[in-house]
Structure 1
Amino acid sequence: MKGAAICRECLQAYRATSQAARVPSNAISRPPKNSLRTFSSHTSWRQQEAHQSPASASSHPPPPQPSPGDPTPTQMQSAIRSNLSSSPRMIKIAETVRRVTGSATDTYLVYGATERFFRSCAAQAPYTIPDDQRTQIVSGRGPPKTAQGEDIGVPDESSTNVGSVFWHEQLGLLPTFSTWSQVTYIHFYILLVHFRTMEKYSLLQMYQRYLIEHFSQNAEDKMVLLHTIEARGIRNRYLKDLFMQWRGCIAAYDEGLVKGDATLGAAIWRNLFKGEEQVDWEKVAVVVAYMRRCISIIGEYKGNLDAQEALDGPDGVWARAKQGLFDEAQKDSEGIHEQL
């Protein structure tokens, strides 16, 4: 039966139920106490078919036709969606509950906010492994590998973020799990510097904890779906190593942020560029300038910031910080010609 007929039958059943609910209470008769067929007093459909003639049993009744005054399925769906949307009254109630409960709802709010922040950070250097290569990993004919044995994928074209062009094409970083994790860590650290301005230290801890929790869940999904790592023990060991790398990045980038660009560039060279001897130091300087710009731009936002409005998009923090970076990297730094 068509979807419209199903909706029509539901509507008729709802009207019949509503009419039955309006029956006076004195008109309802109580069933016999000793009756064992209280909920099966009507004739079953098999008994009805047994009393029908062969002609009537083989033919099905036509579906009910909609009347001109009944709403269409599209109108019913639209009404349901409007009822489920957040109304000003519900928003007011939520704000009142928030004021009454105080910090009791902080965990839920922080969890949702950090999920949006994580998606923005993880979308900067997305990668994937084609299906034909992923299915051949076990047979040895999988994706190409780096000298360290890491799978090399391709930039994820399904992502609409322009960050992939910056990290994979302009900086020449391979689309690997290591590149994705280290680029995500850089953006995590930029947000962490901003979160440190929060009044409550406990709130800062929750933001940092849930950021790395979202990262760990997504990283494990990539291990299973893209790299076919099915052993949980191996995944847990990798996740522990990733957490230690994140802690090391915080310490290294903090030191570079305080001591200067040379120290910060050395930290980026060790983590993002894996300490390559033949690294292009101009690209390292570009990443240093990018981090400095992002931290400066985010500092313009007072209090918390929204991931969708402030970070992403052509006018977001990530896009604004990339403008003219390579031209700035070619300029001489102040004091470079001064004699020591």
Structure 2
Amino acid sequence: MASNSVCASCLRALRQQARKEIQRQPSLASIRPQHTRRLLSTTTRALAAEEQPRSTKRQPSKPSSANPSAFDLSQLASQLRKTDTLRSATEPYIAYGSTEDLFKACARQCDYNIPNVLKQPPEPAPKNAGQEDVGVGSGWWVTPKEQGGLGLDVTFNTWAQVVFLHMYMMTVRLRCFPKEHAGIWHQNLLDHFFYAAEDKMAVWHGMTARGVRNKYLKDLWLQWRGLLLSYDEGLIKGDAVLATAVWRNLFKSSEEADIADVALVTAYMRRQLLRLDEMGDDVFASGEVDFEGPAAVKALAEKQSPWMHKSFSSEDLKELEPAQAPAQK
């Protein structure tokens, strides 16, 4: 994955390359040792200008391809990044920064806070029927249904499930990366979630004990593993199975869940997966990824299938019945 950032490992390699350039080229060997480090941030032409008397008026110089002593730092870094050793050393740093942006795109879809915690002195957070802390959130996932949203409870569990859903779609796209990259990127994306989850536990829910937070984090890890399995099964077996997975994870298997909302989320997932699939690796790896709103799929989800109004004859019903095994004599 290409990146414009240079980490400590890259910097050390660049210094070694600069020393080799000085030893190999006579024009660079004449530069004083104290100027060796400055070679990484300027051209040798600028260094030569510093050797002139201060009374001499400096004229801006144009880079010349005929001067073998001048080289571009960015081009050198790009060449060094192509080597297997340096790429393996810098890949975790690049993956960490890019997956942080990818996670922020997931977290923007549903965020919340608990105003009672900010009061002086702090007050207990209001509870819902399941004794979960209820806060104030943003995003169409928690917007009341009267205002066109899904109307989910503004709780930590809702936040985790909505972020998990978007992280799953990111994970599906990361599986298209080369094998040597996919594992590192997926692990960094998951780490960003658990950093944010632990922070919310401590700040908004008063879980100051590390042992208590670790218990909930382990439970979230098990939920993530099960979610991966259920959503993968839905992608393979069809929308009905995918909608069932959405109903179990996002809507908590509630009998009061609106089937139209379940269909809307299922269509939303299909469309976002298609958008991510059409996105190039370089664009996705840059972290500049965002998700569409529900309006893009709402009309599609509300459209009724013509089979809903089709009548079945007795012959059609017979074809749907499973074949009976012949009676044994």
TM-score range, shorter chain: 0.5 to 0.7
Which residue identity lines up with residue 328 of structure 1 in the other structure? L
**Counterpart check, 1:92 vs 2:75:** yes
Which residue identity lines up with residue 302 of structure 1 in the other structure? G
CA RMSD in angstroms, aligned pairs only: 2.3
1:188 to 143, 163, 167: 167
1:234–1:135 Cα change, 3 Å: farther
Equivalent residue number for residue 94 of structure 2: 109
Which residue identity lines up with residue 105 of structure 1 in the other structure? T
What SS does the corresponding residue of 2:143 show, helix, strand or coil?
helix
Deviation at 1:176, TM superposition (A): 1.2
Deviation at 1:165, TM superposition (A): 3.0
Deviation at 1:155, TM superposition (A): 1.3
Supply the distance in 2 between the matched residues of 1:324 and 1:212 (Cα, whole angstroms).
28
Supply the distance in 2 between the matched residues of 1:260 and 1:280 (Cα, whole angstroms).
20
TM-score calculated relative to the size of structure 2: 0.66
Supply the distance in 2 between the matched residues of 1:310 and 1:335 (Cα, whole angstroms).
41
Supply the distance in 1 between the matched residues of 2:161 and 2:235 (Cα, whole angstroms).
17
Q: How many residues align?
A: 236
Check whether the contact 1:256–1:262 (CA below 8 A) recurs between aligned residues.
yes
**Counterpart check, 1:260 vs 2:238:** yes
Q: Percent identity?
A: 41
Which residue identity lines up with residue 299 of structure 2 in the other structure? D
Supply the distance in 2 between the matched residues of 1:91 and 1:220 (Cα, whole angstroms).
38
Structure 2, unpaired ranges of 5+ = 1-70, 313-319, 321-329
Query: Which structure: larger Rg?
Result: 1
1:145 to 114, 122, 127: 127
Deviates more, 1:284-293 or 1:167-176: 167-176
- Residue deviations 1:38-63 (CA, integer Å, cap 9, x gap): xxxxxxxxxxxxxxxxxxxxxxxxxx
TM-score calculated relative to the size of structure 1: 0.64
Check whether the contact 1:130–1:153 (CA below 8 A) recurs between aligned residues.
yes
1:132–1:240 Cα change, 3 Å: closer
What SS does the corresponding residue of 1:127 show, helix, strand or coil?
strand
Supply the distance in 1 between the matched residues of 2:287 and 2:183 (Cα, whole angstroms).
24
Equivalent residue number for residue 329 of structure 1: 301
Check whether the contact 1:115–1:211 (CA below 8 A) recurs between aligned residues.
yes
- Residue deviations 1:276-312 (CA, integer Å, cap 9, x gap): 1111110010000000000011111132434777523
Which residue identity lines up with residue 188 of structure 1 in the other structure? M
Supply the distance in 1 between the matched residues of 2:190 and 2:182 (Cα, whole angstroms).
13
Deviation at 1:194, TM superposition (A): 1.1
Structure 1, unpaired ranges of 5+ = 1-87, 157-163, 313-317
What SS does the corresponding residue of 1:251 show, helix, strand or coil?
helix
Supply the distance in 1 between the matched residues of 2:184 and 2:119 (Cα, whole angstroms).
36
Deviation at 1:198, TM superposition (A): 1.6
